[in-house]
Structure 1
């Protein structure tokens, strides 16, 4: 393997991250692979930690899947590589997920092994285990991964060099969670080849060079975070800058000190950096490109980011399930880069379905894609797959788009009942299910309200049962926290209504609810 990724990226779709880590551990053993504010891990250390994880998982015998619940540090990436080498399906869960979501995903995957760390974002593992046990999700085995040691049920893992059935790049080797386009969190099946292909397109669109330094600040277990923090650095053989918790000032300082050339962040994160008063974005004089997305990219602020840093803002339009349908490149004009989702990707077939007929051939409607970037679908969820795929095998996205005569795509609306806060897809249905369990709540509607930093903020409108006192926002969020609800699913505004608006068909009229919560004064705000 003498060819560099940047010279022929499409030739690297046959190589796994595991292959590339082995290569760099041999060729560049003492060069950094992952850098965070307080530590740096070399390629040799990354490779060795992955092998320790592999040994730990093999010591447990025949296990179908492990749940990976780790912060966005080298421990997460080494665990994904170690599971791949062991031939064990990895179920990757975001570090900010609460125990209720974690328990749900473990059950959905049939996983009884939890891979975590002694203290995940300030939460001791003993407390986490207790919370899971209370939800009938007690792990049969606990694997703890720290930068220098891997333990299994309290004992250090020992490699007995047994042979394992390592995955291929076309095998489903990983599951990650998504709100998707329908309902509750689901597990998306992932192969290595699809994300290699995604990284290859990004390499071409950004005209990447062999000396890139990637600052990857998107939560790593999800699609955007996967290709920027896990796949791209391994393919390049170059260091990735990572944070276990995003902080704008820390991110800017880390990028300046290590001369980052590529930044990957959701729109909320770059807005936070723009508005940060304690750090100077002009220090980022080596930054060439920022990949962003996960939500609508604000034109004015993106243009300002380009002006201050000199970096060009690029994006993809797509989802965890589809990969991507369109993308922008460094060769596009400003209007295309910042005002559209870019042009349709050559490698993907994209058709736009008219809402009324469900047939292709129109330029405005619901997009569907088919090609090498798409996922195999949802894990063991036939009902969800029936909504995700058309009958002839195309994956649907939950938006309404327009595609112009030059194949530039622009999102003009959303079909799915999702709230996108800081790049995180929040299912309104799931939020409503949680809040509806409160004893004082009679009806509930969750909606997103526009916000200049986060894109949308989560608002809950409720009516209360007779004879009940309405909860305050603080009381409601405290009640939800006690039940282990993930932080992003906690409402930031609460409106108590005398009656819930209902549409003629009997469903809650969400558009009317949104109007009411925007104008209603005197209720709680975070």
Structure 2
């Protein structure tokens, strides 16, 4: 990490970090989208005006503000305006629907809720009204952002260790868990990413995943530390997005295993012609990265690939570096940064460090998640190599990671239990080369019921308000689920063994 980046990484708050970067390079771009350019200086100036407008609406330090917005410049402006005020932000992934959003609003006690209006065919404003959300703010474009005179604002927050972020993860429960973060924990996570990837001011990055994801602040911190821009993608699809990558000369791309596979597929469709001539590095995290995918990307695309390990509770735990060997990059999740302690207890990965969250909204969940020494129990299995790299070997948690997003099996199971044709159900993740894992529902027929189809099951779940990205992609119908002899628990490992590697 450069001396400047190292100094910036000690900033107390995210607003301090933006302010310091804006003073260093006010005219350099930080975000690019659809022909629009936002510089570091303009981001600071405009965010402060939005903060003044929010202040006039009643947003104060500690006010809980939920926002469910796509990856846009307006989203960035709003989140930094809230950071300037010291509000408590609770970002919500845009494709979540009534089931998840209603729980988030109730559990967080949000006093304001920012939505994009109608986005990709879904009326978010109507949903917000239906759920009884308070202080609904429709932010369709920049004209909808509140505006005011910064002279009315109180001093910026100075304590970066106060909880100002509530992110959401399904984990192993049927309802999302509110994960408590501070500005300092997010800065520490982004610093880990930056330290490993070692970007320069000449790089051009890209954010092709939801900005409301924990990866949003992770990546933004890296931009602020090193002073380079990123292209924002409201919706990512290939080959459609390639024109933007090429037009801006993107050098750093990725997001998760699914992104690597998509870029590789495009490369294979045009052998001998680089899909993005300026691209030098693919990087990301989320779903496990098969070693064969790493080798194929390096061999066929001619770029480096650095994969990492993070979660909503700890935005960046380990990260591969372009300086690592091919073997390390292909078979490990990289190394932890200075200050991240990793302890392996009975095969489980446990963590302690500044990037670790403060716990959960539910104190009982917090007590369960941390051991007596203050280490977070991740539920992931793994080991450290002699040279300090982390290898993950499995998960204790009953979750599915599809395209980098964590999906709770129990949430889907709870909803499917209400289907008239379902006697019992087990939802499992099956290996998938493009998505990391796919969602498979194994259904035990209800007595006297007919055989449900995948279309019927997904239509039922849609009607229940389940997010589209959580819908099963595969359905297996059985006469009886395999069960243990004592407590009659469903033996999911048998189902995984039975259906892994078989076609639908």
Q: Give the TM-score taking structure 1 as reference length.
A: 0.87
Q: 1:315 aligned to 2:310? A: no
Match of 1:370 in 2: 352
Aligned-pair CA distance for 1:431 = 1.2
Query: 1:339-488 counterparts in 2 under 5 A?
Result: 339-354=331-346, 365-379=347-361, 381-488=362-469
Q: 1:7 aligned to 2:17? A: no
Match of 1:71 in 2: 70
Does the 8 Å CA contact 1:21/1:47 hold for their aligned counterparts?
A: yes
Match of 2:198 in 1: 207
| Cα-Cα RMSD | 2.6
Query: 1:93-492 counterparts in 2 under 5 A?
Result: 93-130=92-129, 133=130, 137-150=131-144, 157-159=147-149, 161-164=151-154, 166-167=156-157, 168-180=159-171, 184-228=175-219, 230-276=220-266, 282-354=274-346, 365-379=347-361, 381-492=362-473
Q: Could you give the per-residue CA deviations for residues 471-511 of structure 1, whole angstroms, max 9, x where no partner exists?
A: 32112211221222111221111122111211123211112
Give, in whole Å, the separation in 2 of the partners of 1:345 and 1:28: 27
Give, in whole Å, the separation in 1 of the partners of 2:321 and 2:311: 18
Does the 8 Å CA contact 2:342/2:349 hold for their aligned counterparts?
A: yes
Q: Could you give the per-residue CA deviations for residues 53-102 of structure 1, whole angstroms, max 9, x where no partner exists?
A: 32343233266301110001222221111111122111001112122111
Aligned-pair CA distance for 1:104 = 0.9
Aligned-pair CA distance for 1:31 = 4.3
Does the 8 Å CA contact 1:91/1:175 hold for their aligned counterparts?
A: yes
Aligned-pair CA distance for 1:283 = 4.2
Does the 8 Å CA contact 1:419/1:426 hold for their aligned counterparts?
A: yes
Deviating more after overlay: 278-287 vs 108-117: 278-287
Change (3 A) 1:212 1:473: same
Give 5+ residue unaligned stretches, structure 1. 355-364
Q: Could you give the per-residue CA deviations for residues 254-296 of structure 1, whole angstroms, max 9, x where no partner exists?
A: 2222112222411101101211366677143332322222011
Deviating more after overlay: 292-301 vs 230-239: 230-239
Give, in whole Å, the separation in 1 of the partners of 2:20 and 2:353: 29
Change (3 A) 1:12 1:54: same
Change (3 A) 1:166 1:22: closer
Give, in whole Å, the separation in 2 of the partners of 1:322 and 1:158: 35
Change (3 A) 1:470 1:292: same
Q: Secondary structure at the match of 1:53?
A: helix
Deviating more after overlay: 92-101 vs 112-121: 112-121
Q: Secondary structure at the match of 1:114?
A: strand
Give, in whole Å, the separation in 2 of the partners of 1:33 and 1:328: 24
Does the 8 Å CA contact 1:287/1:310 hold for their aligned counterparts?
A: no
Give 5+ residue unaligned stretches, structure 2. none
Does the 8 Å CA contact 1:253/1:279 hold for their aligned counterparts?
A: no
Give, in whole Å, the separation in 2 of the partners of 1:23 and 1:250: 36
Matched length: 497
Q: Secondary structure at the match of 1:265?
A: strand
Give, in whole Å, the separation in 2 of the partners of 1:239 and 1:337: 26
Q: Give the TM-score taking structure 2 as reference length.
A: 0.90
Give, in whole Å, the separation in 2 of the partners of 1:498 and 1:395: 40
Q: Secondary structure at the match of 2:185?
A: helix
Change (3 A) 1:30 1:10: closer
Deviating more after overlay: 448-457 vs 317-326: 317-326
Does the 8 Å CA contact 1:318/1:397 hold for their aligned counterparts?
A: no
Aligned-pair CA distance for 1:446 = 0.2
Give, in whole Å, the separation in 1 of the partners of 2:413 and 2:6: 44
